Amino acid sequence: MTDGTVTSATPVTAKSVCRCCGGFCPVIATLDGSRIEKVEGNPDAPLHRGFICPKGRALATQQNDPNRLKHSLKRMPDGSFVPISKDQLIDEIAEKVRQCIEEYGPDSVASYMGNPVHEQPATAPMMVSFLEAIGSNSLYTVATIDQPGMFVSDALHGTWEGGHVPLDLLDVFLIIGGNPIISKQYANNNPGQRLKSFVGRGGKLIVIDPRRTETARRAAVHLQGIPGEDPAILAGLIHLVIKGGGTDAAFVKENATGLDALTAAVSPFTPDYVAQRAGVDPEQLRQAAQLLIEAKRGDVGSGVGPSMATRGTLSTYLSRCLITLRGFWTRPGDPARSPVLLAPWQPRAQPSAPYPAIMPDAPRKPARGIGASVAGLPLNGLLEEMMTPAKGNVCAMFMHGGAMRTWPDTRKVKEALEALDLLVVHDIEMSATARVATHVIATNTQLEVPTFSQWFESVSFTHPGWGVQEPYGLYNPALATPPPDAEIMASWEIYYHVARRLGLSLKLGRIFEDRASALPMDMEREPDTDALYALLCEGSAIPLETVKQYADGHIFEEARTKVGPRSDDCSARLELADAGMMAQLQEVATEDYHARRGTGPDFPYLFIPRRIQQTTNATYRAEGILRTPYNPAYMHGTDLAQLGLSPGDLVRIRSKNGSIVGVVESDDDLRPGVLSMTHGFGANPGDDHDPREHGANVNELLSWSDDYDPLHGQPRMGAVPVSVLPIEQEEKA
Ligand SMILES: Nc1nc2c(c(=O)[nH]1)N[C@H]1C(S)=C(S)[C@@H](COP(=O)(O)OP(=O)(O)OC[C@H]3O[C@@H](n4cnc5c(=O)[nH]c(N)nc54)[C@H](O)[C@@H]3O)O[C@H]1N2
Ligand SMILES: Nc1nc2c(c(=O)[nH]1)N[C@H]1C(S)=C(S)[C@@H](COP(=O)(O)OP(=O)(O)OC[C@H]3O[C@@H](n4cnc5c(=O)[nH]c(N)nc54)[C@H](O)[C@@H]3O)O[C@H]1N2
Ligand code: SF4
Ligand SMILES: [Mo]
């Protein structure tokens, strides 16, 4: 206390981890009894060293929120929600699941693994285990509206066992449409500081982004191109690297095929052509290529920008080709991803051959003709299926995500979700998606469940931008308890109980690992979350019990893994010229790019996605955390002036698929002609809507049928042609 009075109780602190994004920042909470007074970064945490962002600090507000969902709810026929006991909830859900399976078959029961599975790391493995037990193949994830091109291009190019060179060893890092300082993707722990020290020791950052982002400010070269032109810019860079003698000939000879075909395919992308087409300075393009050529060690990472703008697969594919051409992959002795709570492994400095990207024999047959790919089942087509009752079509869904604010084509999403016989949504608040559920499960907050670093490690094996190379392990027990008058469930629990009601046994295994290693669960005595973690850590490189001894997390030197030498019998080659990719590149080279872009008098601007520090997607937002309750529609000052608009004005934003009302904000860091807005806002169609209070749902501007990728189905979610009209003018018109 500041007045000098001595209180009897010293403040109690407890440790946990923020899971509001993939940053996995360790935190310390100060508790007064069971109430959390404040949450700060844990300065003793070995990787993050106390770093957190405003969302981490707001965990105290989240935990104490009086509007917290305290009881599970059931939707009544008139649309209202009534509280329902845990027993009744399990009964009703189990009965619906049984009916759906009986009438439409096991595949009719689906689960969606959205981003919130970060929060409660036992959830994703339980979901997989439950679907397996009921015999359903309908596991959907967020992957096909995120960066699915990454999975597909890895399949088409092949992968490097040793992985990418970590940021701290790079001379050059090219980032395409990503903004780590805000998103943490590619520098999870304190990205601002890490990029600063990278640049400080002479590292060169190259950024391709239509906005001069927080990250682009640190770049040696910022190519502020037209949205959607990443394939052309990347082909242009590859062309210059090859012409400038940047090919690591020895590396390519030993590890790759297709150099000649790639060289030919990129030859139309001369600096002048790329400059004219993509709106970049040819000199800057040459500078960027020169930095790539001069660097001994480099890496290329792509974010959601190019992924949303269509042809995300091609962009990522070309980024992988660039790494291979320059021989930028890890070499023997380099640091490798070091499993701690995963099984040990020993990667080598060698390629893994390309593998099929689409899975024609996948047991589940998705609608709309888009098949299952290495990115999983496509969300594209699922809505139509939900609206058409038929054998095998999805009629029940366990939802771990914010579909109403995160899936394209909001009106259709609502119609489809409302057509389901069963929609189970986990939540801590009555979110936009909860409002269309048949059952809302009042779920533990992240601080109410123990945490461990296995999920953080696991995702690093699917996306090079997440997780760390260090042999890092952490476990913390739950640090908060739900309010005494609440009946709350951890989000994995429903699967256990429903399986048990249906007389089924579950086997729990690590996500992304072979199901053969899954272990049987005790179906008699109900386990707790810790028992699940223990099962998930069987055979891990470091035993969970050892990790538990370090509340701040720990670097386990004994688990440090280095990239091993190439094995003598390795004959795999990375593919620089996949036929499908080369055909797409040729299409890029020969198309009428103005027509393809789709801008013109009707739709003069290009809408692009962005993220903001204060919120992750559509997840819970603590009171007061946002600068404005709405998501501003950012435009360049000259565009605003031309439209006669001032910051704060309301505008109608229209695409060929739909329209929203936005509040404009000036942002001279944007390329003129671009409208940048974050997703995850807006009221549900049909609900009261005040653009200045709820913001706008940009997914209303999108359609699943718009220019979708034939392999994984992601539709155009960025570089979308739009018109912007002041609301007053519209009213007059
Ligand atoms: N237009 C547009 N759309 C996008 C994107 C974009 O850039 N532009 N980005 C896409 C990307 S990359 C992603 S990853 C997705 C993210 O999309 P999703 O993963 O679908 O959505 P989130 O907003 O992360 O999910 C938040 C909701 O999850 C529910 N939930 C489920 N389980 C739990 C739980 O255990 N705890 C809590 N607290 N809530 C739970 C709650 O309803 C919560 O509101 O959005 C995608 N959609
Ligand atoms: N604070 C915060 N952190 C998050 C999230 C969040 O919502 N908030 N979401 C999490 C999730 S789900 C994900 S997938 C990651 C994503 O991580 P990032 O990929 O880093 O996501 P963004 O910050 O949206 O950065 C995308 C950038 O692409 C640019 N861009 C838009 N269109 C184009 C284009 O056509 N070409 C190019 N080259 N650039 C373009 C945008 O201007 C923006 O700067 O972030 C994660 N972290
Ligand atoms: S939301 Fe912020 S504090 Fe939480 S994990 Fe991400 S970066 Fe860390
Ligand atoms: Mo994402």
- With 0-12 / 13-18 / 19 or more C-beta atoms within 10 angstroms meaning exposed / middle / buried, residue 700 is buried
Distances (CA, A) of 667 to 228, 555, 643, 700: 20, 42, 15, 23
Q: Containing H/E element for 383?
A: helix 382-386
Q: Containing H/E element for 720?
A: strand 720-726
Residues 217-239 have pLDDT tens digits of 999 999 999 999 999 999 999 99
* Residues 640 and 501 occupy one common structural domain: no
- Looking from the CA of residue 618, the nearest atom of ligand 1 is 23
Mutate-to-test residue for ligand 2 from 183, 234, 274, highest number of ligand atoms within 8 A of CB? 183
Q: Is 488:208 a contact under the CB 8 Å cutoff?
A: no
Q: What's CA 39's distance to the chain center, in Å?
A: 25
Give the residue among 286, 41, 257, 291 at the shortest CA–CA distance from 157. 257
Please tell me if the CB atom of residue 425 comes closer than 6 angstroms to any atom of ligand 1: yes
Residue in the block written with tokens 């329209």:
659
Q: Is 320:301 a contact under the CB 8 Å cutoff?
A: no
Q: Is 242:293 a contact under the CB 8 Å cutoff?
A: no
Task: Render 293-328 in DSSP notation, one character per residue.
Answer: HH-SSEEEEE-HHHHHTS-HHHHHHHHHHHHHHTT-
CB atoms < 10 A from the CB of 565, how many?
A: 12
How far does residue 51's CA lie from ligand 3's centre (Å)? 8
Q: How many residues does the chain have?
A: 733
Residues 165-175 have pLDDT tens digits of 999 999 999 99
In angstroms, the CA 416 to CA 397 distance is 11
Within 472-565, where are the H helices? 493-501, 529-536, 544-547
Give 336's contacts (C-beta < 8 A, 6+ positions apart).
162, 163, 330, 347, 469, 561, 562, 563
Q: Is 346:162 a contact under the CB 8 Å cutoff?
A: no
Mutate-to-test residue for ligand 3 from 38, 55, 61, 445, highest number of ligand atoms within 8 A of CB? 55
Query: What is the structure's pLDDT at 6?
Result: 43
Q: Tell whether 39 is covered by a domain.
A: no
- Looking from the CA of residue 41, the nearest atom of ligand 3 is 3
Please tell me if the CB atom of residue 618 comes closer than 6 angstroms to any atom of ligand 1: yes
> Hey, CA dihedral for 101, 128, 188, 233, is it positive or negative?
negative
DSSP3 helix / strand / coil % (the chain, rounded to 5): 35, 20, 50
Q: What's CA 14's distance to the chain center, in Å?
A: 29
Query: What is the structure's pLDDT at 532?
Result: 98
549 bridge partner residues: none
Query: What is the structure's pLDDT at 512?
Result: 86
Read off the CATH number of the domain in which 255 is found: 3.40.228.10
* Residues 237 and 116 occupy one common structural domain: no
Please tell me if the CB atom of residue 665 comes closer than 6 angstroms to any atom of ligand 2: no
Task: Render 110-155 in DSSP notation, one character per residue.
Answer: EEEE-GGGGTSTTHHHHHHHHHHHHT---EEEGGGGSSHHHHHHHH
- Report the percent of the chain where pLDDT is more than 70: 98
In angstroms, the CA 488 to CA 483 distance is 9
How far does residue 199's CA lie from ligand 4's centre (Å)? 27
Provide residues with CB under 6 Å of ligand 3. 18, 20-21, 23-25, 52-53, 55-56, 184
In angstroms, the CA 221 to CA 206 distance is 5
How far does residue 405's CA lie from ligand 2's centre (Å)? 16
Query: What is the structure's pLDDT at 371?
Result: 85
Query: What is the structure's pLDDT at 730?
Result: 63
Query: What is the structure's pLDDT at 1?
Result: 34
Please tell me if the CB atom of residue 426 comes closer than 6 angstroms to any atom of ligand 1: yes
Q: Tell whether 57 is covered by a domain.
A: no
Give 120's contacts (C-beta < 8 A, 6+ positions apart).
443, 444, 446, 449, 490, 491, 492, 529
Query: What is the structure's pLDDT at 2?
Result: 38
- Looking from the CA of residue 53, the nearest atom of ligand 3 is 2
Q: Whose CA is nearest to atom 37 of ligand 2?
A: 177
- Looking from the CA of residue 24, the nearest atom of ligand 3 is 5
Query: What is the structure's pLDDT at 732?
Result: 55
Query: One-letter amino acid identity for 619?
Result: T
Q: Is 381:704 a contact under the CB 8 Å cutoff?
A: yes
* Residues 124 and 201 occupy one common structural domain: no
Where is the domain boundary, 559, 588, 615? Answer: 559
Q: Whose CA is nearest to atom 24 of ligand 1?
A: 115
* Residues 385 and 509 occupy one common structural domain: yes
Q: Tell whether 32 is covered by a domain.
A: no
- Tokens in use for 544? 């969970």
Please tell me if the CB atom of residue 709 comes closer than 6 angstroms to any atom of ligand 2: no
Q: Whose CA is nearest to atom 7 of ligand 3?
A: 23
Any idea what the Cα angle at residue 35 is, between residues 30 and 37, rounded to 5°? 40
Q: Tell whether 310 is covered by a domain.
A: yes
Give the residue among 146, 214, 159 at the shortest CA–CA distance from 379. 146
Q: Tell whether 544 is covered by a domain.
A: yes
* Residues 553 and 698 occupy one common structural domain: no
* Residues 521 and 380 occupy one common structural domain: yes
Read off the CATH number of the domain in which 371 is found: 3.40.50.740
Give the residue among 153, 162, 150, 206 at the shortest CA–CA distance from 350. 162
Mutate-to-test residue for ligand 1 from 123, 142, 714, highest number of ligand atoms within 8 A of CB? 142
Count of structural domains, the chain: 3
> Whole-prediction pTM value?
0.97
* Residues 511 and 656 occupy one common structural domain: no
- Tokens in use for 454? 């296995």
In angstroms, the CA 480 to CA 461 distance is 31
In angstroms, the CA 589 to CA 571 distance is 33
Mutate-to-test residue for ligand 3 from 17, 18, 39, highest number of ligand atoms within 8 A of CB? 18
- Looking from the CA of residue 142, the nearest atom of ligand 2 is 12
Q: Is 381:712 a contact under the CB 8 Å cutoff?
A: no
Q: Tell whether 312 is covered by a domain.
A: yes
Query: What is the structure's pLDDT at 728?
Result: 77
Where is the domain boundary, 579, 609, 637? Answer: 579
Please tell me if the CB atom of residue 352 comes closer than 6 angstroms to any atom of ligand 2: no
Low-confidence ranges of the chain (pLDDT < 50): 1-8
* Residues 313 and 248 occupy one common structural domain: yes
* Residues 608 and 667 occupy one common structural domain: yes
- Looking from the CA of residue 304, the nearest atom of ligand 2 is 19
Q: Whose CA is nearest to atom 47 of ligand 1?
A: 406
Q: What's CA 308's distance to the chain center, in Å?
A: 12
Where is the domain boundary, 520, 544, 579? Answer: 579
Q: Tell whether 149 is covered by a domain.
A: no
In angstroms, the CA 318 to CA 321 distance is 5
Query: What is the structure's pLDDT at 469?
Result: 85
Residues 171-188 have pLDDT tens digits of 999 999 999 999 999 999
Give 726's contacts (C-beta < 8 A, 6+ positions apart).
643, 644, 645, 649, 650, 651, 652
How far does residue 524's CA lie from ligand 4's centre (Å)? 37
- Looking from the CA of residue 57, the nearest atom of ligand 3 is 3
* Residues 375 and 448 occupy one common structural domain: yes
- Tokens in use for 154? 């890895």
Give 675's contacts (C-beta < 8 A, 6+ positions apart).
605, 606, 607, 608, 633, 634, 635, 653, 722, 724
How far does residue 179's CA lie from ligand 2's centre (Å)? 6
Which residue range is the domain that position 120 belongs to?
73-142+358-559
Query: One-letter amino acid identity for 603?
Result: F
How far does residue 428's CA lie from ligand 3's centre (Å)? 18
How far does residue 431's CA lie from ligand 1's centre (Å)? 11
Q: Tell whether 431 is covered by a domain.
A: yes
- Tokens in use for 365? 């047959």
Please tell me if the CB atom of residue 712 comes closer than 6 angstroms to any atom of ligand 1: no
* Residues 245 and 138 occupy one common structural domain: no
Read off the CATH number of the domain in which 613 is found: 2.40.40.20
Give 721's contacts (C-beta < 8 A, 6+ positions apart).
597, 598, 599, 600, 602, 603, 604, 605, 606, 607, 655, 656
* Residues 490 and 628 occupy one common structural domain: no
- With 0-12 / 13-18 / 19 or more C-beta atoms within 10 angstroms meaning exposed / middle / buried, residue 568 is exposed
Please tell me if the CB atom of residue 291 comes closer than 6 angstroms to any atom of ligand 2: no
In angstroms, the CA 610 to CA 616 distance is 11
Distances (CA, A) of 373 to 8, 122, 162, 362, 623: 61, 25, 24, 9, 40
Please tell me if the CB atom of residue 25 comes closer than 6 angstroms to any atom of ligand 1: no
Q: Whose CA is nearest to atom 14 of ligand 2?
A: 146
Mutate-to-test residue for ligand 2 from 611, 626, 702, highest number of ligand atoms within 8 A of CB? 611
- Looking from the CA of residue 616, the nearest atom of ligand 3 is 1
